[in-house]
Chain A
Amino acid sequence: DQQVKQNSPSLSVQEGRISILNCDYTNSMFDYFLWYKKYPAEGPTFLISISSIKDKNEDGRFTVFLNKSAKHLSLHIVPSQPGDSAVYFCAASGVGGSNYKLTFGKGTLLTVNP
């Protein structure tokens, strides 16, 4: 039972345009959400996070939106750059008794074309 779902295995965008990566979750106990970026043969690198008490968090070119009622979050990258090409993982954590372990989606491969 996949508690965190990334339904798009891949996404291709042109350099300079917006990339939107989507993530859905089913467990209402999740209250902290993170996006990680992963290059081949490397470990995931933390990108941005959002607490369930917020609906938006922004860091430079990266913005994460959270819609709690829909159990949906998205990562916007504007403008997209070729160096952003990587696999992006959505992860969720339920603090307070969950030991802060992360539950990951299967990832979305983003390709930014020059």
Chain B
Amino acid sequence: AQSVTQLDSQVPVFEEAPVELRCNYSSSVSVYLFWYVQYPNQGLQLLLKYLSGSTLVKGINGFEAEFNKSQTSFHLRKPSVHISDTAEYFCAVSDRNYGGATNKLIFGTGTLLAVQP
């Protein structure tokens, strides 16, 4: 079965500094990967996705992520963060089960990005 690990529960960073949020997954089949962002008191919003093709994917608000199959990682990066980027970030992997009927996502535990002035 697929699983997602986000080792960092919280990442403090100063404004205008670069940031990387780590995500590792385990799967025996090919996967689709997603990053969602949750701003305070709001629902989850899709930030970016890897479906196929180029391993570097760009999303909204200047974020990008790189799919690394050999390291089973999908880390999220931004070269310069803003105060408004303060939010919880969730990595998710498709729960691909060729034998079953499912299009579920498996979510990580989330990483709180705390941007300080």
Please indicate whether A and B come from the same complex rather than being unrelated chains.
no
